[in-house]
């Protein structure tokens, strides 16, 4: 029953968005984001606590509010974007995206190297995987969590596959990624989520301990390839800029544990630098430091 409710809401908003102009959609997103920030006291507190930790209590309440609303805007842009792309052709998906650093991907393809992208919940994170697959003619396999609603998970699966993106779920992520790379498919991994301590390793993130996935580091070391960080940003929710950053080199010495730790910390450092530069693009609603600083969210 609940699955049908989710599907009905998805279809309703999908139909509504097809009849609205870009400006009208942005206005709707803005209104919903402000409403969610104001009424969602639980997540508003998480946003503020995260910002206080990350920026050492230097932000005013107005600054935190603006960033919090932007975090909801990005979430809605990601969800609404999935709905709107159901009616798009591949060329339309990347029509309003500029790409910086294309030579990095093109050189990797030309050399025949395995391609491993790392990204995070930054900007429209669902769009970046599809944009990369279309722009560089890749078959891309992403790692994600299966939705609680199997009906909606199937809808999302079909949407991604239209644009050359497949998914493997976290439970079988390592096996699925190895299989994908052996089939000369690219892999994309979200690296900014909190994990149970047994599923990741400890890194320093904004000067505080946090867990971090080692999946990308293990794959990079195994295949002896650099990790390619990719992120997408927007200021107006019409035009987007995708940046392919300087690759994170793999390490392979006799000390596997140290190699993986160093590569994983490098990913956390890169993510932190990006967020510091433009905090409005990140998903601040997430309890990023909950494993080691659980009392912070109490």
Task: List, in sequence order, every beta strand (DSSP E) within 96-177.
Answer: 97-100, 116-119, 140-144, 165-169
Residue 1 scores a pLDDT above 80: no
Pairing of strands 165-169, 208-212: unpaired
Pairing of strands 140-144, 116-119: unpaired
Cα 35 to chain centroid, rounded: 24
- Residue 35 contacts by C-beta under 8 Å, 6 or more apart in sequence? none
pLDDT for 155 equals 84
Please state the domain count of the chain.
1
Among 208, 216, 205, which residue's Cα sits nearest to residue 276? 205
Residue 12 scores a pLDDT above 90: no
The answer to whether the CB of 144 falls within 8 A of the CB of 107 is no
The answer to whether the CB of 242 falls within 8 A of the CB of 100 is yes
Chain position carrying tokens 């102009």:
21
Global pTM reads 0.94
Among 226, 270, 268, 230, which residue's Cα sits nearest to residue 251? 226
- Residue 81 contacts by C-beta under 8 Å, 6 or more apart in sequence? 124, 126, 127
pLDDT for 277 equals 97
- Which residue range(s) make up the domain with 236? 2-297
* pLDDT tens digits, 231-261: 999 999 999 999 999 999 999 999 999 999 9
Residue 152 scores a pLDDT above 90: no
In the structure, what pLDDT confidence band is assigned to residue 200 with cuts at 50, 70 and 90? very high
Query: What ranges in 183-224 are assigned the alpha helix state H?
Result: 215-223
Residue 87 scores a pLDDT above 90: no
Half-sphere exposure of 285 (CA within 13 A, CB side): 19
Q: Rounded to an integer, what distance in angstroms lies between the CA atom of residue 263 and that of residue 242?
A: 23
Residue 146 scores a pLDDT above 90: no
Q: What is the mean pLDDT of the chain?
A: 95
Angle at 186 between CA 103 and CA 244, to 5 degrees: 35
Residue 41, both tokens: 């006291």
pLDDT for 237 equals 97
């Amino acid at each position: 029953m609940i699955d049908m409710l989710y599907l009905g809401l998805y279809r309703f908003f999908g139909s509504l968005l097809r009849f609205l102009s870009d400006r009208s959609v942005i206005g709707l997103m803005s209104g919903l984001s402000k409403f969610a920030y104001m009424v969602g006291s639980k997540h508003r507190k998480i946003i503020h606590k995260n910002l206080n930790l990350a920026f050492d209590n230097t932000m005013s309440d107005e600054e935190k509010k603006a960033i919090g609303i932007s975090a909801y805007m990005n979430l809605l842009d990601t969800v609404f974007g999935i709905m709107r792309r159901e009616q798009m052709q591949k060329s339309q998906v990347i029509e309003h995206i500029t790409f910086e650093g294309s030579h990095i991907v093109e050189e990797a393809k030309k050399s025949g190297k395995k391609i491993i992208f790392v990204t995070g919940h930054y900007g429209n994170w669902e769009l970046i995987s599809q944009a990369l697959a279309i722009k560089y003619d890749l078959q891309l396999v992403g790692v994600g969590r299966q939705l609680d609603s199997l009906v909606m998970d199937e809808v999302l699966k079909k949407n991604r596959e239209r644009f050359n993106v497949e998914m493997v779920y976290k439970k079988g992520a390592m096996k699925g990624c190895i299989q994908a790379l052996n089939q000369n498919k690219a892999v994309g991994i979200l690296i900014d989520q909190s994990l149970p301590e047994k599923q990741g390793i400890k890194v320093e993130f904004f000067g505080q301990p946090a867990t971090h996935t080692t999946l990308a580091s293990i794959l990079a070391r195994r295949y002896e390839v650099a990790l390619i960080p990719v992120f997408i940003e927007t200021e107006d929710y019409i035009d987007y800029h995708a940046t392919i950053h300087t690759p994170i080199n793999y390490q392979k010495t006799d000390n596997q544990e140290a190699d993986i730790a160093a590569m994983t910390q490098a990913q956390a450092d890169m993510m932190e630098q990006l967020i510091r530069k433009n905090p409005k693009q990140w998903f601040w609603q997430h309890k990023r430091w909950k494993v080691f600083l659980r009392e912070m969210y109490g």
